[in-house]
Amino acid sequence: MKLIRELTFPLIAIFAAFLVGAIVITAIGDDPIETYSLLIGSALSWPDGIGYTLFYATPLIFTGLAVAVGFRCGLLNIGAEGQLTIAAFATAWAGIFFANSSAWILIPLTCLVAILSGAAWATVPGVLKARFGSHEVINTIMMNFIAAGVASALTQTYFKEPGDAILESGPIGNSAHIPRLGQIMPGIPARLPLNVAFLVALVACALLYVFLWRTKWGYEIRATGANPSAAEYGGISVKKQIVFAMAVSGGLAGMVAINEVLGYRYRYYQGFSPQYGFTGIAVALLGRNHPVGVLLAALFFGALTRGGLFVDIFTEKVSKDLVLILQALVILFVAAEALFRRRLGKNQTQT
């Protein structure tokens, strides 16, 4: 019952977005029904459609969770992009530096590096906020630029293979590769890039749910986000929670590196992220900052990405920018829904 209630508004928002999107498609001069059936069909076909949809969803689950944790503590982490960039670079570095270790050591080690480097990068704006009160939105945005600069400069200077025209590092050790799902699960073709990182993302959703709602630490984070004054009254150090929540948020963002570096490209590649960090904000918003909602929203965005490619190729006029339009419309309607709900709530509670 509660699930249905929670799902209603996001579904209405998505439906409304598709409706307006249909007008856009018609205006451009294509048939909306054909375009949409192409979009949905290509995203949900077995095995390639679903495989790619899940693959595209994986980084968005991590960044969506990252933003959601921040939100629960009253923080807006705009810096997931920078955190995942630094984490990807650091993970690749570890994978190259310790390339000769066995997989049993190297995989846990590189995963740990992914999480800790993302967490460390996010802790900086956390400490700045707790210590000096400077706003995390400004600082996380700034640190996005720094992260991009630092990662590309270091790659250019130390890790680029001679003669390589692309700004990317050399490959990580083979033992650091995590398997594709096709390699370990029967029935899934090994050509799909979908890898174990997707399963890690599912586990992360479950763990984050338990963490937020079933542990005292999660309680403290949520209390701080709900009402910092009351949290302080309840003996919770708001400053510690800010730093802690930023670290958890950054760690989750850093886990994108598990998918991108350990599971897909096997190297650091400048510009690997099509703004996963920012899309994560939209995912968290659509998913109501709840791990289950984030999972569903990330799958939806993943499907849009997959379907967009086909729309781009197989329609006469509509380009894959349609996906961006749909994403924007969904966000718009989700935001409008907050207004709508407030009005609805007002009518019910006033006496």
Partner 1 sequence: MLELRNITKRFGNVLANDRVNVVVRTGTIHAIVGENGAGKSTAMRIAYGFYRADEGEILVDGNPHKIHSPHDAIALGIGMVHQHFMLVDTMTVAENIVLGAEPGTAAALDVIGAEKRIRALSDEFRLSIDPGARIEHLSVGQQQRVELLKALYRQARILILDEPTAVLTPQEVDEFFRILRRMRDQGKTVIIITHKLEEVLSISDEVTVMRDGRVVGQRKTAETNAAELARLMVGREVLLRVQKQPATPAEVVLNVCRLSMKSRLSEISFSVRAGEIVGIAGVEGNGQTELIEALAGLIQPSRLGGRVEFQGKDISLLNARERKEMGIAHVPEDRHRRGLLLESSLAENSILGIHYREPAVRRRGGIMLDGTRIRTRAEQVIREFDVRPPDCELPARALSGGNQQKLIIGREFKLPPKLLLVSQPTRGVDIGAIEFIHRKLVALRDSGCAVLLVSAELEEVTALADRLMVIYDGRIVGEVDPAWASKEEIGLMMTGGLRG
Interacting residues with partner 1 (CB under 8 A): 213-217, 219-220, 222-223, 226-227, 229-230, 232-237, 347-351
CB nearer to partner 1: give 38 or 73: 73
Distance of CA 344 to the CA centre of its chain: 31
Q: In this structure, are residues 309 and 96 in contact, taking their beta carbons and an 8 Å threshold? A: no
Paired strand residues for 269: 168
Spatial distance between the Cα atoms of 139 and 242, rounded to a whole number of angstroms:
14
CB nearer to partner 1: give 97 or 219: 219
CB nearer to partner 1: give 203 or 226: 226
Residues 6+ apart with CB under 8 A from 225: 71, 72, 73, 74, 75, 245
CB nearer to partner 1: give 232 or 337: 232
Spatial distance between the Cα atoms of 75 and 69, rounded to a whole number of angstroms:
8
Q: In this structure, are residues 283 and 294 in contact, taking their beta carbons and an 8 Å threshold? A: yes
Planar angle of CA 313, 314, 317, nearest 5 degrees: 85
CB nearer to partner 1: give 95 or 287: 287
Shortest separation between residue 114's beta carbon and partner 1, angstroms: 24
Shortest separation between residue 3's beta carbon and partner 1, angstroms: 15
CB nearer to partner 1: give 42 or 224: 224
Residues 6+ apart with CB under 8 A from 285: 331, 334, 335
Place of tokens 């729309």: 311
Cβ neighbours around 109 below 10 Å, total: 17
CB nearer to partner 1: give 11 or 230: 230
Q: In this structure, are residues 306 and 42 in contact, taking their beta carbons and an 8 Å threshold? A: yes
Spatial distance between the Cα atoms of 154 and 162, rounded to a whole number of angstroms:
14
Shortest separation between residue 350's beta carbon and partner 1, angstroms: 7
Shortest separation between residue 348's beta carbon and partner 1, angstroms: 6
Coil/strand/helix, residue 169 = strand
Cβ-defined contacts of 195-199 (< 8 Å, 24+)? 195/55, 195/259, 195/263, 195/264, 196/263, 197/58, 197/255, 197/258, 197/259, 197/262, 197/263, 198/54, 198/55, 198/57, 198/58, 198/259
CB nearer to partner 1: give 33 or 210: 210
Shortest separation between residue 125's beta carbon and partner 1, angstroms: 23
Phi (first) and psi of residue 168, to 5 degrees: -150, 160
Phi (first) and psi of residue 160, to 5 degrees: -75, 135
Shortest separation between residue 198's beta carbon and partner 1, angstroms: 27
CB nearer to partner 1: give 157 or 348: 348
Shortest separation between residue 205's beta carbon and partner 1, angstroms: 18
Shortest separation between residue 70's beta carbon and partner 1, angstroms: 17
Shortest separation between residue 228's beta carbon and partner 1, angstroms: 10
